[in-house]
A = this chain, B = another copy of it.
Amino acid sequence: MTNTPSSASGPPSGPHRLVGRQGHARWEGNLDTHAFRIGSVPIGSGSPVVIAGPCAVESHEQTLAIAHAVRAAGADLLRGGAFKPRTSPYEFQGLGIEGLEILAAARAETGLPVVTEVLDVRQVDLVARYADCLQIGARSMQNYPLLREAGRSGMPVLLKRHWAATLAEWLCAAEYIAAEGNLDIILCERGIRTFTRGEYGRNTLDVNVVPAAREMSFLPVFVDPSHATGAATMVPWAAEAGCAAGADGLIIEVIADETQVCDTLCDGEQSIRPAALAQIIRRVRPEETRDTSQPGFGLAP
């Protein structure tokens, strides 16, 4: 990597000077992560954080059932889409404000802070009134007006990587948020589009980008094994692989035990059941944590 930080690198510079390690005495020459909170949940503080919930908020009953199930499985935050970016105008576009109300109700019942997507720059204030963390979807990663408004909201932001974005483009997208004075940003890898598309899974989980992003930036890095695979049977493997590659957390789509995949309005085939979620969470939270000061794990000498 050409941007490897060195110990005497001068003041922060370059296109992602606010979110990069280079030139920041606190962050240069180590792999430490910027720590902050979403609600009361600490992010970037060591043990992997798990965000789980339905792909889309489809109803009060569905969302509450899943919220209780993911909490019981050990998840830390609740995800769920009220505004859904859909490839076709004829697909379910989300419940909108009603969906936000349902998420707020789920939070009230379970105590789980809420992560939900905003995709229209005119709705940032609205979504920010309900959410604990704004999600910027992959398709919106280079929607610069939206990034700026998300930055101005003062809310934590989970920034998905576009499926064809370079690491530099992803960090620059974060820089648009940071330039508004907001550094509480999660970088979330959700799979890249490669020639494997359609043969197995929908995308390719780019585990390499996890250590590469952590070396370049102090922002926490999450992995979305649901979109990175597109198939429920592959999600647990991808989830563990993401954490093994150094991810600070996961965001996973979950379907209730009593729901048929074919009855979901969005991405049911990549959603896992609560029992699988529970096993993933047990496995990615080992008692012994990795020591990045050990040989091999860490920065170039």
Contact = CB atoms under 8 A, between A and B. Distances in A.
Interface in A170-227: 172, 175-176, 179, 192-201, 203-212, 215
B297 A275 contact: no
A77 to B, nearest CB: 20
B244 A237 contact: yes
Interface in A41-57: none
A215 B200 CA distance: 10
Interface residues of A, number: 87
B200 A208 contact: yes
A120 to B, nearest CB: 4
A201 B212 contact: yes
Query: What is the count of identical protomers in the complex?
Result: 4
A290 interface: yes
B208 A196 contact: yes
Contact of A120 (B145, B204, B238, B276): B145
Contact of A172 (B87, B120, B237, B286): B87
B237 A199 contact: no
Interface stretch (A22-30, A32-40, A107-115, A228-236): A228-236
A46 B6 CA distance: 41
Contacts of A179: 89
A246 B237 CA distance: 7
A275 B248 CA distance: 25
Given A144-B85, A296-B276, A200 B244 contact: no
Given A15-B90, A295-B275, A196 B166 contact: yes
A288 to B, nearest CB: 9
* Chain B CB within 10 Å, residue with most, of A119, A121, A143: A143
Interface string A131-165: 00000000110111100000000000000001110
A128 B106 CA distance: 42
Interface of A: 1, 15-16, 85-91, 119-122, 139-140, 142-145, 162-164, 166-169, 172, 175-176, 179, 192-201, 203-212, 215, 228-229, 231-238, 240-246, 272-273, 275-280, 283, 286, 290, 294-300
Given A15-B88, A196-B208, A273-B296, 9 more contacts: A119-B143, A119-B144, A120-B121, A120-B145, A166-B195, A194-B204, A207-B207, A211-B238, A241-B242
